[in-house]
Structures are given as structure tokens and as C-alpha cells.
Amino acid sequence: MLGYLLLLLLLIGVAAKLHQCLRRRSKPANESEVRAEPETWSPTSLGAPLLADPIWVYNNWSSYDELSDNILLTEKLAMRELDEILRLRKAGVHFDCYMMDAFWFAKDGGYRTWRQPDWPDGPDPWIRACQDAGLKPGMWFSTNTLVHIDAAAKWKDSLSTGGSSMCFFEGGFLPDFMDVLQSWYDRGIRMFKFDFADFTAATAETAKRLNADEIYRRNEVAFRDALLAFRSKNADVILVAFNGFGGDVESTGYPFPFRNKIDLQWLQVFDTMYSGDPRPSDVPQMNFWRSMDIYSDHMVRRYEQSFMPIERIDACSFMVGNTGTIYYRKTNAWQGALLLEMARGGWINTVHGNLEFLDDGKAAWFAKVQNLYGPLQALGRTKTFGGIPGKAQTYGFGSVDNGGSLYTVINPSQSIETFRLPQLSRVQAALENGRLLFADAGFVPRLAGGRITLGPGQLALAGFGRYAEPAFDLGVQADVVIPQSIRLLEAKFESAGQHIIETSIDVPSDGDLRIIMQQFYADGTAGRSWEGAPPSGKNMGEFFVIEVWQDGNPLPVVINYDKVIWSGLSWAVGEVRAASMTPGKPLRITLSSAERQFPVTVTGKLYVVTY
């Protein structure tokens, strides 16, 4: 009898705990109740969000850039962007946090002091201004590597053999680092970004007695346990992980599964884990920025395939600005990038860069998209569908609630494709009477019977149910233009030297000539070439060269990959306009790569496109 009684009491306790968790997971209709909840929220399982609701973060990286450019972080710059947040707020744009990214710190201050003379009054005016604006301030840290900072006295007995990082489980670094984090929390910091983690770090003596796997494991356990204790003490803290915490993010051409596996135990402490800084994918696109969209989409898919919950993946993809880190993008193709930032379903939506580039008209569009996706992120479900982005297969992100659904779809191929949209839930209404809400310019997508037809490289957003109402129309992305037609043109390329291929063809009779070159390593994976960052890096338009000659004269080739690309590139795309070509005289096409560090194979394809 006593055994049955104990069992009954245990079941009652479990039921009570389950009821409590379910209440926490439910979303009250009253918005003020939602915002009062974060400090008591706790997940019901390892993969559940640590946040009570999705949030929006402004990160000032790419408004300055001290790694691939020479624009410095200063108090003036940081406060200017805070003013811009307040301006955007008047247009209806919402932010929850302001993240102060890398290099705020004094080189010799052990993360306790801010860099002079760039911060003459220290951080307190900025922290107070954020708090007065209802924003949670955040700070960046190079987790245990010495990036633009010297080892503090208490860190030196933790230094690795190379002297560039600190061991977590030996010496004084970790206790001091956690004291630093707590001191900043006590001063008002509520979000912490951890970058450049090195779990291979070990002192010289430890490296002699422990193998590499054991060193890695002990470092992970020590840091994770410390963050668990930090979270336990500071219930409302937001922690995000960047480089060093798992995943292969250098290119979309790497084999899958990841060689650098993601330890899902990090989900105990981090609200999100990022899936790579913006860069071109290995899928060639005439519009350079679309290839960057495909990179971020691909990495989100690969992290999801590694069992990361989609809410916990930070694609880190939306940046506007005029620095080397984003290839001087400014606001090129910004609408598609913002739409995808929300469509992917991550619960930390981060906006990087120069907010002053978003004028009042852009701000109104931003607010409209944010209001469209905000409830879906919080109360609906987001799912991936279709093929693998890095394999140039049509794919997308679908969000659904009991009122309807949104489908963001991309065709990364060099062909017009028709794709059947999947049902996102069993209770979802049939995909009829949908509405095209947004698309790139040029080719007009066709939506009928649950199918969508997209032009080559095209993005589109379709709404169903209540989301098919005209009020949700978002217009056309005018600075991404998709061809009305495309067809493959047969051509045989021959070697004309090291990493040079050549062909001759007749002039197409019905359109422009699109030329695509790609570079591959011996194992068949995409061969990315790195030629440095600004200001001294090499322009990739001079590295991958597309030349077209007719009757002994060079013809103009339209390209937009002619940028200094710190993250590497494996392709080039150019177009020769029909008006530049004379019918009846052959064209000679030469494709060349300046790659000399690795053996590569250069390939070429030709298409005829009409706009």
C-alpha cells in the first residue's frame, strides 16, 4: 500500500509540474502578460525556446568594421544608431535589444574597461540611454581567444601552448571571466554574445597528459556548467553563441553531415546558435545578393538537419551598411533579405548595420513585414520544405497558424521551375485561392492549385487563408530582376592554359548571353578562392575573369561579383547584352581563374536569357 501511495504522490507531482509548464508555454492574449513572463519562463524540454517569445535585436556590427575594413567603433557611432532605432520606432519598427558588437573593450582591460579615447565617458551613458528607450543592452565577447585583447594577469596560467587562447578547466581564466560577465550584468547588460570559442585550448603541461578529445570535452563541460550557473543566478539573461560552437560554415560546398559536429547540450544555455556570417553561397547567381540569401538558407537547413530546433537557429543574415564585412552592400536587395530573416523562423531576429540607410519609406515596409510575421513566429509553426539550397533545388520556409499560412519560396536554379507547395499541417485548409504577396521584378510568378512557378534565381512570398488578403501585399523587389525566359546553350569548353577554358559559339538569335563559370577541387566540392579583405584584398572581378570577343574586339560583360570578398568565392556570372553582339559573327569566350594555391578545375555553361 505504501508503495502505491508513493507512486500516486509522484504522479500528482509530475502532473502538477506538467500543468505548470504548459501554462508557461501558452501565450496569453494580453500582450502585457507576455512581456511579464520572461523572468519566470523555463523550457519543457532541451529543444524548447529559452525565450518566452521571439525578440528583435539591433547589432551595430557592419555600421563599423575593424576586421575587414578600417571603420572604428566609437561612442558617437553607437549613439547615432540608437537615435536611428528611435526614429524607426516612430514608423512602427520594434526592437527589444541593442547589441554592442566587437572591440568596445580596452586592449589591456580584461573586458572590464572600454577603449579610450573612443569612449571618453565609458559605457554608462549608452547603457542608460538604452534602458531609457526600453532596450536591453548587450555586449560581445571573444569567448576564450585573444582577439584584439591582451591576457589579463589572472588569465595567464590558463594560456594555451600557442598563447592565443585560454583553457577553461585549468587556471584562473574561467572564474575571472564569469566575474566579468556578472559585473556587466549588475551594471545593466542583459544580452551576451560569445564568439571565437576554442575548445582545443590547453596549457603546455595539460597538453602532454591529455588527448585532444578529452581536452575538448573538459573545456566544453567547464564553460557550459559556468553558463548554467550564470543563467540560474540571472534568470532574464539572453545568451547567444557564434563562431566555435559547432557546424561548418565556411561554404555550402562542404560535405554533410558536419565534420565539426554541433553538441546539442549547448541548447541548455544558449538561446540561439548562429549558422554563419553572410557570404555568397556556392550557387552561382547573376544577382550576387541572391547567392548570399541562398548561403544563409542553406546553413539554416543544415543546422536543422543536425537536430537544432529552427527557433534556436540565428541565420545572422540581415545586414545593411557600407563596410567590407558585407561587401559594401548598402541596401541592395534588402527586402528579400529581411523577409527571409523572418521567414526562417528563428526566435532572435537580428538587424545589423547602418539603420540610417533605411529611410522612412523603407521603415514603413520593414514595420509591415515585421507585423506580418511577428504573430506567426510567436504563435504559429515554421517548417522548411523542398530541396537543399546549396544543391540549387527549389526550397522554402512555411509558417502556419489557425488563420492561414505564408510560403517563402526560392528557385536557385538556372531554369524556370514549377513547385508544389506542401501542406504544413493536417488541419490546414487546402492551398487554393492563394495570393502572391511579394516577388522579385521581371518574371511574374504563377500561383495556382497549390503550385508556384518561379523564374531562375527568383524569390516569392505567397499567402493563403487570411494571409491572402490584399492588405498583406508587399509589392515587388525592383532591384532584383529575373529573366522572362532562359535556355541552355550547347557549348564545348577546351583548356587554354592553367585554370583557363575557352569556347566559340554563334551569336544567339533571341536574347542576351548569360555565362557561368565555376571552380571545383579535385574531390568535386566547390573551390572557394580567398584573396583578402579590404582595403588590400583583390577584387574578385579581377580574379575570375569572363572575356567575350567578337571580330577581334572585346564586348562589354555585365557582372556584379566584382567585389572584395573576404569570405571567398567559387563562381562568376556575367551577361552580354543582345545589343552588344553582331549577328553572323562568332563569339570567342574565355574563362580564367587566378587560383594558384590549390589545383582546381574550371567549368563553363552558357544560357540565353530574355528580360
Per-residue cell: 49: 525556446
CB contact at 8 A, 397 and 384 = yes
Q: Which whole number is the average pLDDT over 73-85?
A: 98
Task: Look at residues 66, 88, 64, 67 and name the one whose alpha carbon lies nearest to residue 75.
Answer: 64
Distance, CA of 32 to chain centre: 30
What does the alpha-carbon distance between residue 444 and residue 452 come to, in Å, rounded to a whole number? 11
Phi/psi at 587 (5° precision) = -105, 140
Q: 429: pLDDT confidence band, cut at 50, 70 and 90?
A: confident
Number of CB atoms found within 10 A of residue 601's CB: 15
pTM above 0.85, yes or no: yes
Q: Which whole number is the average pLDDT over 230-236?
A: 96
Cα angle vertex 494, ends 492, 498, to 5°? Answer: 145
pLDDT at 12: 32
Q: Which whole number is the average pLDDT over 372-394?
A: 96
What does the alpha-carbon distance between residue 246 and residue 224 come to, in Å, rounded to a whole number? 14
pLDDT at 42: 56
Q: 537: pLDDT confidence band, cut at 50, 70 and 90?
A: very high
Question: 22-26, 265-269, 288-292, 439-443: which range is least confident on average?
Answer: 22-26
Share of the chain above pLDDT 70, in %: 93
What does the alpha-carbon distance between residue 421 and residue 150 come to, in Å, rounded to a whole number? 53
Q: Which residues are CB-neighbours of 191 under 8 A, at least 6 positions away? A: 57, 97, 99, 136, 137, 138, 139, 237, 238, 239, 240
What does the alpha-carbon distance between residue 34 and residue 53 come to, in Å, rounded to a whole number? 8
Using the predicted structure, report yes or no on whether residue 9 has a pLDDT greater than 70. no
Number of H helices, E strands in the chain: 11, 28
Using the predicted structure, report yes or no on whether residue 10 has a pLDDT greater than 90. no
Q: 21: pLDDT confidence band, cut at 50, 70 and 90?
A: very low
Using the predicted structure, report yes or no on whether residue 146 has a pLDDT greater than 50. yes
Q: 48: pLDDT confidence band, cut at 50, 70 and 90?
A: confident
Q: Which whole number is the average pLDDT over 138-145?
A: 98
What does the alpha-carbon distance between residue 278 and residue 62 come to, in Å, rounded to a whole number? 11
Q: What is the distance between the terminal CA atoms of the chain, rounded to a whole angstrom?
A: 82
Using the predicted structure, report yes or no on whether residue 298 has a pLDDT greater than 80. yes
Cα angle vertex 104, ends 101, 109, to 5°? Answer: 135
Using the predicted structure, report yes or no on whether residue 155 has a pLDDT greater than 60. yes
Q: 46: pLDDT confidence band, cut at 50, 70 and 90?
A: confident
| Sign for the pseudo-dihedral over CA of 281, 244, 62, 38 | positive
Task: Look at residues 406, 377, 397 and name the one whose alpha carbon lies nearest to residue 49.
Answer: 377
| Sign for the pseudo-dihedral over CA of 65, 71, 72, 74 | negative
Per-residue cell: 344: 526562417
Using the predicted structure, report yes or no on whether residue 47 has a pLDDT greater than 80. no
Mean pLDDT of the chain: 92
In sequence order, what are the beta bridge partners of 447? Answer: 452
Q: Which whole number is the average pLDDT over 248-274?
A: 94
Q: Which whole number is the average pLDDT over 57-70?
A: 96
What does the alpha-carbon distance between residue 379 and residue 376 come to, in Å, rounded to a whole number? 5
Q: Radius of gyration (Cα) for the chain, nearest Å?
A: 26
Domains in the chain, ordered, with CATH?
389-481 (2.60.40.1180), 487-610 (2.60.120)
Using the predicted structure, report yes or no on whether residue 40 has a pLDDT greater than 50. no
Using the predicted structure, report yes or no on whether residue 141 has a pLDDT greater than 90. yes
CB contact at 8 A, 403 and 463 = no
Q: Which whole number is the average pLDDT over 506-513?
A: 95
Q: Which residue has the cell 590549390?
A: 598
Q: 39: pLDDT confidence band, cut at 50, 70 and 90?
A: very low
pLDDT at 44: 54
pLDDT at 79: 98
The conformational region for residue 283 under phi > 0 = left, psi -120 to 50 = alpha, else beta, is beta
Task: Look at residues 526, 531, 515, 513 and name the one whose alpha carbon lies nearest to residue 576.
Answer: 513
The number of residues making up the chain comes to 611
pLDDT at 535: 84
CB contact at 8 A, 343 and 351 = no
DSSP one-letter string for 7-61: HHHHHHHHHHHHHHHHHHHS--SSHHHHHH-GGG---SSTTS-SSSS-EEEEE-B
pLDDT at 185: 98
pLDDT at 15: 37
Question: What is the tens place of the pLDDT at every residue in 164-195?
Answer: 999 999 999 999 999 999 999 999 999 999 99
What does the alpha-carbon distance between residue 259 and residue 217 come to, in Å, rounded to a whole number? 16
Which strands sit side by side in the sheet containing 601-610, from one edge to the other? 485-489, 601-610, 512-520, 571-576, 558-559
Using the predicted structure, report yes or no on whether residue 87 has a pLDDT greater than 80. yes
**Beta-carbon-side half-sphere exposure of residue 416 (alpha carbons within 13 Å):** 17
Q: Which whole number is the average pLDDT over 476-505?
A: 97
CA distances from 191 to 172, 194, 255, 271, 547 (A): 24, 10, 34, 10, 50
Share of the chain above pLDDT 90, in %: 89
Quick one: three-class SS letters along 568-607? CECEEEEEECHHHCCCCCCEEEEEEECCCCCCCEEEEEEE
